[in-house]
Structure 1
Amino acid sequence: MHELGISVYPEKENLEETYHYMALAAHYGYTRIFTCLLSVDESKEKIMKDFKAFMDKAHELGFKVAVDTNQRVFKHLGANYDDLSPFKEMGVDIIRLDESFGFDGDVTITHNPEHIMIEFNASMNPGVDVLIKGGANVNQMTVCHNFFPERYSGLDWQFFNQMNTFWKSLNLHTAAFVSSQEKDTHGPWNVFCGLPTCEDMRNLPIDLQGRYYFATGLVDDVIIGNAFASEEELKALASIARDQVTLKMDEEKTITDIEKAIVYDYTPHWTRFDASSYFLRSSMVRLLYKDQSIPYVPYEKDHFSKGDVLIVNDNLAHYRGELEIALRDIPNDGERNCVGHIKEEELGLLDYIHPGYHFKILKEQ
């Protein structure tokens, strides 16, 4: 199951504004909150009081809450790896460990009788596999990536996927951060360049970041790292499909109504299991259009390129109506009409449409 989340930092925000943001996110179906105790410089009593009220509000709205911690936070609150009662008193659902308690401590904390989930850093391997082999309770373990406030410091995309493949081999639930593009957003520190997990995602529209993460099939939950995302962004991220790859294209001016129906209205498009290296093929759609005319439309280039969206025309009537997306250069032999082009920043999504996978091309409003 995939969940969406937001991040809030109550000690840095107007509480009324924070609660309004939480309610707005809940309205769009968000169910996770990340917050940080590392940056809170208050007495134990004030932290316990303020965060208890915050947790109560979050639970009232249907959220589960993860708090970022380290040993200093534990000591300040009077907690230890074998005593999580202060966190239980506050109502914490997930404790994210920013550092290790050592092998024995990390194994012990996963068996806590308070049944608080323990979240490990997914952006590196702190020996979680060794903990599991050593008796850690996998049913109270989860992993979440870091976010990276400093520009150019985010994870490499290939490394990100390698790490998530590793976590999935351990059957662990994964989460990662995307970044709002709103101006004047903030995180726990005084750095304001967004808060993504992957550097390549930092400047992309928030829905596209989410679509990349879900396309990999390796990320369970997506959390907005910085606050506050706009309502438009909350809505956009909430609207994406989480069980198939979705793409946006720039239309050719010559696209016809029939071709628009093939591209946008037929569902589901799915790639043939007997896959070609030249293009993705959605073949079943042609059964609807085998008896309709799709005239040849001249195209200015003598070849098609990766990301070109093609529909077979009357010159190859047996396959008329089939939708194809070019994966490499293909000669333009007059048998296909070019109806659009997958947007440049979305071409990488094509790598995640494997044989037999469903996909959808989204019509832009």
Structure 2
Amino acid sequence: MNNGISLYPGLENSFEENLQLINIAADCHIKRIFTSFHIPETNFANFRSQFDQLMKAASQNNMEIIADISPDTLTLLGSKKFNASLFKLKGIKRLRIDYGYENAVISELSHNSCDIKLQLNASTVTRRILNELALYNADFSHIDALHNFYPHPGTGISEKLLADKTQMLQENGIKVGAFIPSHNRPRPPLKKGLPTLEEHRRLPFDLAARHLCALGVNSIFIGDSFPTIDEIQTLAHLQENIVTIKARLYNKNPAVGQLLQHNTFTARLDEARDVIRTQESRQLFNDLSITQANSIDRQIGMITLDNDLYGRYKGELQIIKNPQPADEKTNVVGQIPANEIFLLRYITPGRKFRLDFS
């Protein structure tokens, strides 16, 4: 995934902290940085003194700078006229068009000669806007989209809105990103986190990130500006369009545990009512002897593996959606904790998923 951090020169972070953040992210192979040119609380003198040096550091690490702009941005940059070359000179490679620009202007900008790419506001885009951009011959190969973040508690968008907007954009060939908050040092002035989804404001960082992956976004940005190294590393290891669920492993067989931990599975297309079935598991476990063990009543969220007694079904991996009675031919090998079970609804037919027992 082409994920990113956020940087806000002129706010709470010192220049040294911002520089450190760039270097840590680069070491973790994060290649995108989001910044904004229209945050009212910005100390613009500090912004101007820091910005060029920080952009130089980002450029040296081959990182893409995404700048959130409005018509007021020109004042901050000391320019009277919009000129794409001005942004290129600053090291900016993508402009997020937040508000104040007509669709005809956006379409024209998508053909700029400076190779500056554009980003739409995914949270507010409509089919009418996409149709007008197409009418004005916008170059959609130079356009992606990024959802808003929401500093004010209670104002983050719903999962349905994110899913609907994301699907609409992706159906038009436009990749979509969204934000999750850091819990280390929330950004001022409100310091309540910067999520796209309201439900992520207090959700553990790792779970919020995996939730966005399950929802099918193409990239994830940390909205707050001083995440921990662990949060950045978590961001770096996310896998696009794969549902990753943490679980407890009960199985005592090391070979079985290794196969469960290190493989990606695909939900069968012929979806069962009571369980999630996998396409690959019987072949994957075919050469292993799976002795009968822990054949207990199967509750929602339990992970099961059919043992040697099941004949040709041996090795079938399932996740329980509706309770099942005990069966001596089926071993319960793991359990998904209660706060992770909601992720099961995203393992739809044909969807890939992983089980993380770490």
Q: Same fold (TM over 0.5)?
A: yes
- Counterpart for residue 204 of structure 1: 203
- Counterpart for residue 261 of structure 2: 264
Aligned match of 1:358 in 332, 352, 358?
352
Rounded Cα–Cα distance in structure 1 between residues aligned with 2:356 and 2:155: 32
Aligned match of 1:286 in 282, 286, 291?
282
Rounded Cα–Cα distance in structure 2 between residues aligned with 1:284 and 1:97: 44
Q: Is the 8 A contact 1:211 1:242 kept in 2?
A: no
Residues 56-79 of structure 1: CA deviation (Å, up to 9, x unaligned): 111101211011121112245325
Q: In the alignment, does 2:142 pair up with 1:140?
A: yes
Q: Is the 8 A contact 2:147 2:196 kept in 1?
A: yes
Residues 11-68 of structure 1: CA deviation (Å, up to 9, x unaligned): 122111211111011111100001111124536xx86664232211111012110111
The structural deviation recorded for 1:161 is 0.5
TM-score (ref. length: structure 2): 0.88
Overall identity of the aligned pairs, in %: 25
TM-score (ref. length: structure 1): 0.87
- Counterpart for residue 237 of structure 2: 239
Rounded Cα–Cα distance in structure 2 between residues aligned with 1:64 and 1:30: 10
Rounded Cα–Cα distance in structure 1 between residues aligned with 2:147 and 2:325: 43
The structural deviation recorded for 1:293 is 4.4
Q: Is the 8 A contact 1:98 1:121 kept in 2?
A: yes
Rounded Cα–Cα distance in structure 1 between residues aligned with 2:160 and 2:248: 27
Rounded Cα–Cα distance in structure 2 between residues aligned with 1:258 and 1:106: 55
- Counterpart for residue 23 of structure 2: 23
Unaligned runs of 5+ in 2: none
Q: Is the 8 A contact 1:207 1:240 kept in 2?
A: no
Q: Is the 8 A contact 1:8 1:35 kept in 2?
A: yes
Residues 152-186 of structure 1: CA deviation (Å, up to 9, x unaligned): 2211011101100011121112111111121x331
Rounded Cα–Cα distance in structure 2 between residues aligned with 1:236 and 1:349: 18
Unaligned runs of 5+ in 1: none
Rounded Cα–Cα distance in structure 2 between residues aligned with 1:120 and 1:268: 33
The structural deviation recorded for 1:145 is 0.7
SS of 2:10's partner is: helix
The structural deviation recorded for 1:5 is 0.5
Rounded Cα–Cα distance in structure 2 between residues aligned with 1:168 and 1:321: 36
Aligned match of 1:348 in 329, 336, 342?
342
- Counterpart for residue 190 of structure 1: 189
SS of 1:10's partner is: coil
Rounded Cα–Cα distance in structure 2 between residues aligned with 1:178 and 1:162: 18
Q: Is the 8 A contact 1:69 1:95 kept in 2?
A: yes
Structure-to-structure mapping, 1:28-39, within 5 angstroms: 28-39=28-39
Rounded Cα–Cα distance in structure 1 between residues aligned with 2:174 and 2:330: 45
Rounded Cα–Cα distance in structure 2 between residues aligned with 1:260 and 1:297: 15
SS of 2:3's partner is: strand
Residues 196-240 of structure 1: CA deviation (Å, up to 9, x unaligned): 1111222233232222222233x1111110021111111122123
The structural deviation recorded for 1:257 is 4.3
Q: Is the 8 A contact 1:290 1:320 kept in 2?
A: no
Rounded Cα–Cα distance in structure 2 between residues aligned with 1:283 and 1:95: 42
Residues 85-131 of structure 1: CA deviation (Å, up to 9, x unaligned): 33233221111122132233333222322221122211112523322
The structural deviation recorded for 1:289 is 4.8
Q: In the alignment, does 2:338 pair up with 1:338?
A: no
Q: In the alignment, does 2:312 pair up with 1:318?
A: yes
Please report the RMSD computed on the Cα atoms of aligned residues, expressed in angstroms.
2.5
Q: Is the 8 A contact 2:300 2:320 kept in 1?
A: yes
The structural deviation recorded for 1:350 is 1.9
Rounded Cα–Cα distance in structure 1 between residues aligned with 2:37 and 2:312: 64
SS of 1:88's partner is: helix
Q: Is the 8 A contact 1:294 1:321 kept in 2?
A: no
Number of residue pairs matched? 351
Q: Is the 8 A contact 2:179 2:195 kept in 1?
A: yes
- Counterpart for residue 3 of structure 1: 2
